[in-house]
Amino acid sequence: MINSKNKNIYRILFSFFFFLMFIFVGANFTRAEIIFEDSFDASPDWESHESTPGNNVNWFSSSWIYNPSGPPEPPMQNWTSYRTEIPLSNTVKRYVLNEEGKRGASGKGITYNVESKGTWSGGGLDLYLGNIGYQEIFVRFYLRYDPATWVWAWRDTGFNGEKQKLIRISRLKDEPTTQTSWNPQLFGTLAEGGHQMPVLYPDAKENNGVGYNTPSVNGKYGLYLEYTKRYDPEYGTESPFEIRTFPMPSLGLKNFVPPTSGTDASIDYYKTDGDWHSYEFRVKMNSAPGVADGEWEAWIDGGENPAQHTLQTGVAWVSNGGSVTPGWNWFTVLDNVNTATGLPNGTIMKVHMDDFVVSTSYIGPNYVIGVVDTAAPAVPSGLIVE
Amino acid sequence: MKKRFLIFGIVLVLILLFWQIFLRDLKVTGSAKLSWNPSNESDIIKYNVYYGKTKRANNCPGGGYEKKVDAGKEPLYEIENLENNQTYYFSVTSVNSSGKESCFSEEMSKTIKISFFDKLKSIFFKK
């Protein structure tokens, strides 16, 4: 028998259950498919500062938007922070947001002015997504290596070949907005605090093997992507580099001679194709520490060429002793470049970036920022069954 | 005359044995090749193929078929392991980069017919 007192209890329980359902469903609604997107078109023109006295690299906390007193050298609109090396030539700013970097007929984009130095050069633009993060996340952006200034090169002695960290996809483990004692821009070793783990670095890299060219020779490419994975909490204890013969868009003109006086003629140069190409990456955290069911995936130009898509399963991003929460919540794009080019020091090479999108599902090269296609596509026609 | 009956009997027994051993319980499946017009919308990321043994109940996904497969970006797909003498119904949808899916295309059907020759082939040329 259900008396009136029990009925009230049931009503209260039902209401509470309904309230919880509402909260959870509401939380899912707030997690829209697109997490972040920036075409840069609506942003004010911006350029990085490389003038902090006493620092050869300008970074946290001068550009950090959570700096309690306000960042003296703020990042571009919508972004979290940046770091940049002081240029050798000091004739250009490392990162510039203006019309020069646009993809398409109008708008704006980012120009990354890389200097040839024969060693590491650069910085990075940071985006932090909060201290909850996402267990699975996709990021897509467009890059264009300027054919008038950019060359990829390799020499067989002295340097390891040119490479660029296209992006670092990582998890900042600790709440950064209130602290002042550590630097969230350090992709840290344990000695540095280990706050940024795990990390996936997709690197655009030249092939160190002799005689490779693009398109493939013996399944190898002159320009390709390689991957570095850093795990949590055992930073660097596993082999960090994973070489994948994953061809980069390029003309692959081996022995191309750059139009720069003082060029080292003993070096093999590869020329870029000068087109915009879409780069998309996916990372999925493992389900529990020590369980090897995490993943990462990459597409160039949507994987239209099957060779430009790769998937790795069975990744234990977080090992025993770590935690799979928070999820992925940090990107550093247009990161360091090892400019082992043999071009005269200070030679500027430009790469442009535009249309940066973060999502909980596959984005693809055709997704257009600001144009949400809310209509269902047309019904396919002409179906034939044989 | 006796010899003829003997040969006929042996051949008959051989045929029956062959039938019994190889063909009686042989389950051979067929396939259906589907093709359709490619979409002219620039943000189509894939097509889905729906099929089943009964006609669909609704014109849009959610009311329809027993099976659904991701057919990828190309406007053609082959479905295998379809049962002999069974009629199947097929439709296609398109999906755009926003995750929106179209309603079903026209519904087409095919009755799978596997010939004796196909059965023989399947014995000797197993896939």
Question: Is A374 in Cβ contact with B98 (below 8 Å)?
Answer: yes
pLDDT higher than threshold 50 for residue A297? yes
Q: What SS3 string covers chain A?
A: CCCHHHHHHHHHHHHHHHHHHHHHHHHHHHCCCEEEEECCCCCCCEECCCCCCCCCEECCCCCCCCCCCCCCCCCCCCCCEEEEECCCCCCCCCEEEEHHHCCCCCCCEEEEEEECCCCEECEEEEEECCCCCECEEEEEEEEEECCCCCEEEECCCCCCCCEEECEEEEEECCCCCCCCCCCCCCCCCHHHCCCEEEEEEEEEEECCCCCCCCCCECCECCEEEEEEEECECCCCCCCCEEEEEEECCCCCCCCCCCCCCCCCCCCEEEECCCCCEEEEEEEECCCCCCCCCEEEEEEEHHHCCHHHEEEEEEECCECCCCCCCCCECEEEECCCEECCCCCCCCCEEEEEEEEEEEECCCCCCCCCCCCCCCCCCCCCCCCEEC
Residue from the list B33, B37, B100 with its beta carbon closest to the beta carbon of A380: B37
User: CA B58 to CA B64: how far, in whole Å?
Assistant: 6
Q: What is the pLDDT of residues A5-39, one digit of tens each?
A: 555 655 555 454 444 443 333 333 333 378 999 99
Q: Identify the CA nearest to A49 among candidates A23, A83, A19.
A: A83
Chain A hits for B44, Cβ within 8 Å: 377
Question: Is A382 in Cβ contact with B33 (below 8 Å)?
Answer: no
Q: What is the pLDDT of residues A333-375, one digit of tens each?
A: 999 888 766 778 888 889 999 999 999 888 999 888 876 666 7
Give me the half-sphere count of Cα atoms (radius 13 Å) on the Cβ side of residue A151.
Answer: 24
CA distance B67 to chain A (A): 16
Question: Is A363 in Cβ contact with B102 (below 8 Å)?
Answer: no
pLDDT higher than threshold 50 for residue B42? yes
Q: Mean pLDDT, chain A, as a whole number?
A: 79
Nearest CA in chain B to A367: B97
Give residue A55's pLDDT: 56
CA distance A364 to chain B (A): 7
- Tell me which of A121 and A106 has the higher pLDDT: A106
pTM value? 0.66
Q: What is the mean pLDDT of residues A235-245?
A: 54
CA distance B59 to chain A (A): 10
Q: What is the mean pLDDT of residues A255-273?
A: 69
Most A CBs within 10 A among B76, B86, B96, hence the mutation to make, goes to: B96
Quote the distance between the C-alpha of residue A4 and its chain's center.
Answer: 60
